[in-house]
Amino acid sequence: MQAPAKSLYGPVAEDMILVEDLLESIKQVELAPLRRMLDHALQARGKRMRPGLVLLAGSFGDYNLNRLVPLGAAIELLHTASLVHDDVVDGAMSRRGRPTANAVFDNALTVLLGDFMFANAAEMVTRTGSLHVTRLFALALMKMTSGELDQDAAAFDVGKDIQAYLWRIGGKTAALFGNATEGGAALGGCDEATVEAFRTYGYSLGMAFQIVDDILDFTGDEELMGKPVGSDLLEGTITLPALLHMERYPRENAVKKYFQARRGRDERLQDAIEAIRTSEVLDVSMEMARDYVRRANEAIEPLPHNEAWQSMVELGEYVLNRKS
């Protein structure tokens, strides 16, 4: 069940419709097949947390929607385009219970769809008129790509450690959250200390978001998540719970046995999932997520405690308590 936008984004909730309108506008293309593909890719609307963060951060300065809305839409479109490409790379047939674009269309066309969306996102961010924010956007895309490459290259590699995991999710997920809040504050004309506070807030919130996502892969409801429990392990992605389990139980480790198995991997997968779920590593992982939320809140503590600030604090709680 989705939380109402008002409860998530407080004073900027009503302006989120402008982001939706701008995202809808990219579907207005002459080429009918491309129009159908864009409609499919943009049909599943999530919480729109990244554009919400852009507007919230921007509200601490000059709240100019003509600049903030294009950045919010660009970041959301970049996020969606990256998922489209990820699904092609992973060969995923569904996401959140819906067929992926590559399941409906062929892989070559889906790659081109992602490229078109990336190009649109880049065009949108130029509408901010800020070279600084445009550069931040490009750097975030580079970090996301590096994080995804690292994840794919490290599939089934039990030699990775927790620091490598944190670096990966820092690029794959947290960089875009940090880009949203830092970019929003910069467009609002906030001073350097405030912009830095929002960068730290967004990055830390993004780290917590991804850690919780990795926990939900073991504890979430399959219907709500739209994917089977243990999907990360199935794809060879070693996340924080698995890393902690291998570190704490080095002898006869069920997770390591699964990753190193040459045959009978299906049965070993269930053993690995059960070993993680019955140990303390999920609680330890959640404590790490809470620590990142604490860092996020500490970063914005010196800022005015207005309605937007309260919404940002509550977003941290939402990230920690979400079910999907």
pLDDT, tens digit, for every residue of 261-278?
867 677 789 999 999 999
Please give the backbone phi and psi of residue 291, each rounded to the nearest 5 degrees, phi first: -65, -40
Write down the pLDDT at residue 7: 75
Mean pLDDT, residues 14-37: 92
Write down the pLDDT at residue 137: 93
Please give the backbone phi and psi of residue 57, each rounded to the nearest 5 degrees, phi first: -65, -40
Is residue 172 within 8 A of residue 147, CB to CB? The reply is yes
For the ranges 234-248, 264-278, 306-320, which has the lowest average pLDDT?
A: 264-278
Alpha-carbon distance of 291 to 119, in angstroms, equals 36
Write down the pLDDT at residue 99: 67
Write down the pLDDT at residue 281: 97
Alpha-carbon distance of 148 to 263, in angstroms, equals 27
Three-state DSSP class for residue 94: strand
Q: How many CB atoms lie within 10 A of CB 302?
A: 10
Q: Is residue 172 exposed (0-12), middle (13-18) or buried (19+ Cβ within 10 Å)?
A: buried
Write down the pLDDT at residue 87: 67
- The distance from CA 30 to its chain's CA centroid, rounded to whole angstroms, is 31
**Kind plus residue range of the DSSP H or E element containing 95:** strand 94-95
pLDDT value at 243 more than 80: yes
Percent of the chain surpassing pLDDT 70: 92
Encoding tokens for residue 61?
């300065």
**Segments forming the whole domain that contains residue 78:** 5-321
Residue with token string 């579907």? 27
- The distance from CA 6 to its chain's CA centroid, rounded to whole angstroms, is 21
Q: How many CB atoms lie within 10 A of CB 55?
A: 28
Write down the pLDDT at residue 3: 45
For the ranges 2-16, 66-80, 137-151, 271-285, which has the lowest average pLDDT?
A: 2-16
Domain count for the chain? 1
Is residue 186 within 8 A of residue 266, CB to CB? The reply is no
Is residue 175 within 8 A of residue 138, CB to CB? The reply is no
Is residue 37 within 8 A of residue 109, CB to CB? The reply is yes
- Each residue's pLDDT tens digit, 120-173: 999 999 999 999 999 999 999 999 888 888 887 777 778 888 999 999 999 999
Here the CATH number for the domain that contains residue 167 is: 1.10.600.10
- Each residue's pLDDT tens digit, 198-227: 999 999 999 999 999 999 999 988 777 667
Write down the pLDDT at residue 123: 96
Write down the pLDDT at residue 90: 62
Q: CA triplet 210, 214, 217: central angle to 5 degrees?
A: 140
Mean pLDDT, residues 253-258: 92
Kindly provide the b/e burial profile for residues 228-242, where b requires at least 16 CB atoms within 10 angstroms of the residue's own CB: ebbbbbbeebbbbbb
6: confidence class by pLDDT, cuts 50, 70, 90: low
Provide the residue type at 125 as one letter: V
Interhelix angle for 192-219 vs 162-169, to 10°? 120
pLDDT value at 194 more than 90: yes
For the ranges 64-78, 193-207, 226-240, 301-315, which has the lowest average pLDDT?
A: 226-240
46: confidence class by pLDDT, cuts 50, 70, 90: confident
- The distance from CA 82 to its chain's CA centroid, rounded to whole angstroms, is 10
Q: Which residue has the higher pLDDT, 147 or 178?
A: 178
Write down the pLDDT at residue 153: 78
Q: Is residue 281 exposed (0-12), middle (13-18) or buried (19+ Cβ within 10 Å)?
A: buried
